[in-house]
Amino acid sequence: MKRRDFLKAAAGGAAVLCTGGAAQARENLQPAPQAVGMLFDSTLCVGCKACVSKCKEVNGMPPVIRDGQVQFDSASDLSGDTLNVIKIYKDGTAKVKDSEVDGFAFEKRSCMHCVNPGCVSVCPVTAMRRDPATGIVTYHADACIGCRNCTVGCPYNVPQFEYDNPFGQIQKCQMCNQAGVERIDNGQMTGCAEVCPTGATLFGTREALMEEAKRRLALKPGEIYNYPRGDLGKPYNSHEKAAPEYKQHVWGEKEAGGTNVLHISSIPFDKLGMPPLGERSAASIAEGVQHTLYSYLALPAVALAGLTYVVRRNTDDDGGES
C-alpha cells in the first residue's frame, strides 16, 4: 500500500470517529401520562411499621430475626429481604414530634419510582424498566446479568442485591405490581398504603397526589384538615387533625427530574437523609455520552474495513505487490 493512501484512509477513519456525532444530553423525561405513585407525609407517620410488615407479606419475604425472635418490622435498612423501612430522625431531647430542635420524626425509605430512573439508564440489558404508562419501575430477573450497575446508579440506594444467595437477584419495591403480585393492574392500591392507619402513606395518581401535597403545604399551622387514608381517588375513610408547620417543599416534584413517590415533612429533607439533588437528571446527561460511545464502538471496525479495502485495491493495482 502506498504511504499517501494509507495516511488518507487513516485520517478519514479518525475523522469519522471524532466527528461522527457529538454526545448530546437529552432533556428530562416527563411524568408518564397515567403515572401512579404515593405521597408520604412524615407528620402523619407514628412509626408503627405496619407498612413494613405488609410489604413483607405481599412480597413473600422473610421477617427479620433478632435474638432468635421473629420481628417483621425491625429491619434497620433496605436489603434483599426488606423493600420498605421506616427510619427515625432525632435531635436533642427528642421530646417533640416533628420538631427540628429537640424533636423526632419518621421517614420512609422505599423505591421513589423516578421519572428519570438512574437504575433504568445504567442497566445494559433492560432488566430495569419504567412502564411508559404508569411510570412504575420494575425489575426483570430473566433479563438480569448480575452486573449490579443499578445499585450504584440509584441516588437513593434502593436496589439491593441478595449477596447471601448463590443465585442472587436484585430486590426493590415495584409498587406491588410485579409478576405474581400485580395489585395495581388489578385495581388495588399498594400494600403499604392499604394498611397505614393514619394515611401517612397515600396511594393515587401522581397528579392528584401533587395537588394534595400542595394543599397541605398551604395550610396554616393548627388549621384542622381532613386527612384521607388509602387510595386518594377512593379513600375508605379519613380523619381530622390539626395541620403542622410544613416545610414548603414537595420532595419529588423536581428532584433529578421528579419522582412518582412524593414526600412532605416538617423537618428539612437533608436531615431526613435525602441526597442532595438538583433538578437535572443525571441519567439525562449520562445517556447522551453513553449512547454516543456505544453507537460508535462500531466505528473502529468501519475504519478497519476502509483500510482493508484500500490495501486490497492497491494490491490489485500493483499486480499483486503489497
Closest CA to 31 of 281, 309, 298, 297: 281
Q: How far apart are the C-alpha atoms of 201 and 176, rounded to whole Å?
A: 14
- Tell me: do 19 and 52 sit in the same domain: no
- Tell me: do 125 and 95 sit in the same domain: yes
- Tell me: do 123 and 199 sit in the same domain: yes
* pLDDT value for 67: 73
Within a domain: 51: yes
* Radius of gyration of the chain, Cα coordinates, nearest whole angstrom: 26
Q: How far apart are the C-alpha atoms of 37 and 27, rounded to whole Å?
A: 22
Strands 103-109 and 96-97: parallel
Q: How far apart are the C-alpha atoms of 252 and 277, rounded to whole Å?
A: 10
Q: Supply the range of the domain harboring residue 20.
A: 3-26+285-317
Long-range contacts, stretch 314-322, CB < 8 angstroms, 24+ apart: 314/1, 314/2, 314/5, 315/1, 322/1
- Tell me: do 192 and 291 sit in the same domain: no
- Cell numbers representing residue 153 in the block: 446508579
Q: State the virtual CA torsion across 226, 229, 234, 236 in degrees, nearest 10.
A: -100
* pLDDT value for 320: 53
What CATH number is associated with residue 45? 3.30.70.20
Residue 132, phi then psi, degrees to nearest 5: -65, -20
- Tell me: do 225 and 295 sit in the same domain: no
* pLDDT value for 196: 97
Within a domain: 322: no
* pLDDT value for 166: 87
- Containing H/E element for 58? helix 50-59
Number of structural domains (the chain) is 2
- Tell me: do 275 and 289 sit in the same domain: no
Q: How far apart are the C-alpha atoms of 168 and 188, rounded to whole Å?
A: 29
Please report how the helices 299-317 and 3-19 are oriented relative to each other, as an axis angle in degrees rounded to 10: 160
- Tell me: do 274 and 157 sit in the same domain: yes
* pLDDT value for 295: 57
CB atoms within 10 A of CB 34: 13
Strands 64-66 and 69-71: antiparallel
- Cell numbers representing residue 241 in the block: 387533625
* pLDDT value for 157: 96
* pLDDT value for 285: 86
- Tell me: do 230 and 187 sit in the same domain: yes
- Tell me: do 239 and 261 sit in the same domain: yes
Asked if residues 243 and 251 have their Cβ atoms less than 8 Å apart, the reply is no
The pLDDT tens digits along the chain (322 residues) read 455 554 455 555 545 445 444 557 789 999 999 999 999 999 999 999 999 999 999 999 988 777 777 665 677 899 999 999 999 999 999 999 999 999 999 999 999 999 999 999 999 999 999 999 999 999 999 999 999 999 999 999 999 999 988 889 999 999 999 988 999 999 999 999 999 999 999 999 999 999 999 999 999 999 999 999 999 999 888 999 999 999 999 999 999 999 999 999 999 999 999 999 999 998 888 876 666 655 555 556 555 666 676 666 666 666 554 4
- Tell me: do 16 and 136 sit in the same domain: no
Amino acid in position 235: P
Q: State the virtual CA torsion across 123, 158, 41, 257 in degrees, nearest 10.
A: -30
- Tell me: do 144 and 293 sit in the same domain: no
Asked if residues 74 and 233 have their Cβ atoms less than 8 Å apart, the reply is no
DSSP 168-222: --EE---TT-STTT-TTTTT---HHHHH-SSSSEEEEEHHHHHHHHHHHHTSPTT
